[in-house]
Amino acid sequence: MMVIVMEPQAPMEQVSDVLRRLEDSGVVPHMSRESGRVSIGVTAVLPAPEQEVLRAMHGVAEISGVRQPFKLASREFRPDDSIVNVGGVEIGGERFVLIAGPCAVEGEQQVFDAARAAAASGARILRGGAFKPRSSPYAFQGMGLPGLRLLKAAGESVGLPIVTEVLHPEMVGPIAEYSDMLQIGARNMQNFALLEAAGRSDRPVLLKRGMMASIEELLMSAEYVLAAGNSQVVLCERGIRTFESYTRNTLDIAAVAALKQLTHLPVIVDPSHATGRRELIRPMSLVAVAAGADGLIIEAHPCPDDALCDGKQSLTPEMLAEVGNALPPVCAALGRTF
């Protein structure tokens, strides 16, 4: 992978000449514009003589390789923010995105009530697990495809696209038939067969950070999806394991700011799994906005105390509405809309 950086003042004709030259040599150019300066990424190492020709073209400032190991995900390759489209909802643009819904789909009434509460709080995507990765084989494993159909119907009832988790590569196709976005969970962040299968899908992917994964490992996992041909990837910081046991995990808020510098991919925060405590969701949501996150994914349940999983960290409809009300002024302070 290489990047051709144009002079700050290079006119559009010079940019077009470079793009045409690249296309004629059979590579697909990816153009970005950062503070008025155009850079063009190509997913090929051009032969030295071709590099010399390009370097001598009018308006070309420099040609370099991408130094970061996560090539396609890096800001070096693409300086501009990427925007990921989830059933018409854009993640990564100026408008901050709230995703909300139950940890797991448990039944028709529950998921339709949860969808109404999500929509009423300002959420623009509905979440819900139909296939759950549980630590215990005896715990509720999710309703499977019937649950996914309920989630889709509940989303449609309030006009929200949906995101749900996929656990197995062979389930990417069947789940993509119903779901607007595929979630790859923390426990599967390095399931490379699953990452590649999601990379061959045309559905956007929500990739959660593994609970013991470094920032670079998260980006390398995103790279698997991108390299397989799917450019629609959103990263999610959901807390990592530390010695602290008061909270379920430790929200690595610095990772959010670091990721925003290292990659053009949108980054969202899951304060539910990061803390495991519903009383900490609102403050951590506001911190996420301030750190530069592009959105939040929050667990909420019509009656959290009866939830079949993750009840302690799930918000009531009222608490979710409070988060929805607290976000706009903080977003505005950061130059974003909600």
Please, what is the minimum distance in Å from the beta carbon of residue 129 to Mn ion? Answer: 7
What is the closest distance, in whole angstroms, from the C-beta atom of residue 190 to ligand PEP in the complex? 12
Name 33's Cβ contacts closer than 8 Å, sequence gap at least 6: 39, 79, 80
In Å, how far from its chain's centre is CA 137? 28
Least distance (Å) between residue 273 CB and ligand PEP: 4
Least spacing, CB of residue 272 vs Mn ion, in Å: 7
Residue with smaller CB distance to Mn ion, 103 or 274: 103
Residue nearest to Mn ion (CB): 103
Q: How far is the CB of 51 from ligand PEP (least distance, A)?
A: 43
Contacted entry of Mn ion, ligand PEP, none for residue 185, CB cut-off 5 to 8 Å set by kind: ligand PEP
- Percent of the chain as helix, strand, coil, to the nearest 5: 40, 20, 40
Residue 174 touches which member of ligand PEP, Mn ion, none, C-beta under 5-8 Å by kind: none
Q: How many residues make up the chain in this entry?
A: 338
Question: Which residues neighbour 155 within 8 Å (Cβ) at sequence distance 6 or greater?
Answer: 115, 126, 161, 162, 180
In sign, the C-alpha dihedral spanning 177, 179, 180, 181 is negative
Residue 60 or 104: which CB sits closer to ligand PEP?
Answer: 104
| Burial class of residue 257, CB neighbours in 10 A (0-12, 13-18, 19+) | middle
Of 91-99, 140-148, 151-159, 304-312, the segment contacting Mn ion by CB under 5 A is: 304-312
| Site residues (CB under 5 A) for Mn ion, limited to 79-118 | 103
Using Cβ positions, the residue closest to ligand PEP within the complex turns out to be: 185
Retrieve residue 320's tokens: 């979710």
Q: Which of 76, 252, 294, 310 binds Mn ion (CB under 5 A)?
A: 310
Radius of gyration of the chain (CA): 21
Give ∠ CA 150-156-161 in degrees, rounded to 5.
Answer: 95
Q: How far is the CB of 93 from ligand PEP (least distance, A)?
A: 23
The interface partner of residue 208, options being Mn ion, ligand PEP, none and the CB cut-off 5 to 8 Å by kind, is: ligand PEP
Q: Which residues of this chain interact with ligand PEP, rule CB under 6 A?
A: 103, 129, 133, 185-187, 208, 238, 270, 273
